[in-house]
Amino acid sequence: MAKHYGIWPYLAGAAAARTGDEMSGPALLLAGLAATGSAATGSALLAAVTAAAAFGGPVFGVLLDRSARPGRLLTAALAGYAVALGVILSTLDLVPLAITLLIAVGAGLLGPALSGGWTSQLPRVVPAADLPRATAFDAMTFNLASLTGPALAGVVASAAGADVGVIAALTLICLALPAAWGLPSSRGRAARAGPTTSIGTDLVAGFRVIARTPPLARATAASMWSCVGQGILIAYSPVLGERVLDSPARGTILLSVAAASALATNTLLARRPHTIRPDTVMWCGPLILAGALLVATIGRPVALIAAMLLAGVGEGPQLTALFAIRHREAPAHLRGRIFTTGASLKITAFALGAALTGPLTTPTLALPLHAAAGCQVLAALTFAIRRSPNNRAHPTAEPSPTPAEHTARADPSAPDPRRGDGIGP
């Protein structure tokens, strides 16, 4: 652990980068509309950035794990993302849209650096005993970003123009560069010697550990089902606003209500991080979200606001619990790819939920909300239901180590992958 690097520089950098990321999506939507007069342009840009992130996460995670100075790699990824946003802005309506979309795809490949890339480095910043509380603070930066990012995009675009909104987003990302650069380096002889396996082998190793570690597999699958439901809710929010609150814009404001509730809940959780086990939160959180979605089907303004407040109570701790399980279960030498792969899978699931919203939208208000609630119930069941003892491997059994694991275990100073970097179960 670096002597001069603590939790506060980490949180400041994470908050700036993630707020810039949350701001960039709405800013691109507004900039695309302003430059071309077509809302489809902004939607296409956002879709290109989102889809590409699903593919870039696992590869970036491998590179992060193979790097002796992961902070430098993270800095390069953040800088590349910011530069790509600037290039997108400068090429809008000046070159064929296909070229601009290709640049957006390139930016999207770096997107997981702002989420899983940061979080995977947290155990290098704080002692293991402080990790639960630090994880809650880390999750709060996501809540803060989702609360302020879209609002900042709208305010800046209204006051100074859509182009300035994109510039403000990339500026926030650039403000995170010093914090990323200063992140502690990898330790151990294996890290200093450099990788001894191929990228393809390391990719397989990351997916294999997720699949063969039951808590990781269940948490990943549950988070994906939950993200499908969240994608439906977010994409449906303008319709909810129009039908219940007489304004599509008011529907998007409801998302800020949920984000504020999630932030407040995580603030309380950070004060007592050991009150509830993360495994319990992983199935309780989606059930709370399902209940909130059912409350929203009442179709009254007060019920809808109450539903969004309740949704935040379920969503905020669920993210903290997911991070805690990954920190606990992920082998230290695979942590980067597990976090970024998980982020990519969640982005894919979220995009699927958003895509399903159109076909589900009918004159009846409740159908998309019922579908989203069903996804949350499936998320809870996915995590809560374990394999029967007859089908479960013997507790002492262990899958054959991958080449990457052989390398890490050959280094006496490297953490034992079976213990998750020394963090108890």
The contacts found for 384-389 with CB under 8 angstroms, 24 or more apart, are 384/283, 386/214, 386/218, 387/214
Residue 391's φ and ψ, nearest 5 degrees, are -100, -5
Nearest to 77 by CA among 116, 109, 37: 109
Model pLDDT, residue 172: 95
Q: Which two tokens stand for residue 415?
A: 């953490």
Model pLDDT, residue 30: 80
Model pLDDT, residue 195: 59
In the 3-class helix/strand/coil scheme, how is the chain assigned residue by residue? CCCCCCHHHHHHHHHHHHHHHHHHHHHHHHHHHHHHCCHHHHHHHHHHHHHHHHHHHHHHHHHHHHCCCHHHHHHHHHHHHHHHHHHHHHHCCCCCHHHHHHHHHHHHHCHHHHCHHHHCCHHHCCCHHHHHHHHHHHHHHHHHHHHHHHHHHHHHHHHHCHHHHHHHHHHHHHHCHHHHHCCCCCCCHHHHHCCCCCHHHHHHHHHHHHHHCHHHHHHHHHHHHHHHHHHHHHHHHHHHHHHHCCCHHHHHHHHHHHHHHHHHHHHHHHHCCCCCCHHHHHHHHHHHHHHHHHHHCCCCHHHHHHHHHHHHHHHHHHHHHHHHHHHHHCCHHHHHHHHHHHHHHHHHHHHHHHHHHHHHCCCCCHHHHHHHHHHHHHHHHHHHCCCCCCCCCCCCCCCCCCHHHHHHHHCCCCCCHHHCCCCCC
Model pLDDT, residue 16: 94
Asked if residue 377 lies in contact with residue 287, where contact means CB atoms within 8 angstroms, the answer is yes
Model pLDDT, residue 168: 94
Residue 345 CB neighbour total at 10 angstroms = 19
Rounded CA-CA distance 222/258 in Å is 20
Model pLDDT, residue 387: 52
Question: b/e per residue, 142-178, with b = 16+ CB within 10 A?
Answer: bbbbbbbbbbbbbebbeeeebbbbbbbbbbbbbbbbe
- Which residue in the block uniquely carries the two structure tokens 């330790």? 187
**From first to last of its 425 residues, what are the pLDDT tens digits of the chain?**
445 678 899 999 999 999 998 888 888 878 887 888 876 777 788 778 877 777 788 888 888 888 888 899 999 999 999 999 999 999 988 889 899 989 988 888 888 777 778 888 888 888 888 888 888 899 889 888 888 888 888 788 888 888 998 999 999 999 999 999 999 887 644 444 455 667 777 777 778 888 889 999 999 999 999 999 988 888 788 788 888 888 776 777 788 888 889 989 988 888 877 778 899 999 999 999 999 999 999 989 999 999 999 999 999 899 889 989 998 998 888 888 888 888 888 888 887 887 788 788 888 789 999 999 999 999 999 998 875 444 443 333 334 444 344 434 334 334 443 333 333 33
Supply the pTM of this predicted model. Answer: 0.73
Q: Which two tokens stand for residue 329?
A: 């279960």
Model pLDDT, residue 194: 54
Model pLDDT, residue 187: 61
Model pLDDT, residue 246: 81
Q: Which two tokens stand for residue 160?
A: 């100074």
- Which residue in the block uniquely carries the two structure tokens 């400068």? 90
The alpha-carbon radius of gyration of the chain (Å, integer) is: 21
Asked if residue 73 lies in contact with residue 67, where contact means CB atoms within 8 angstroms, the answer is yes
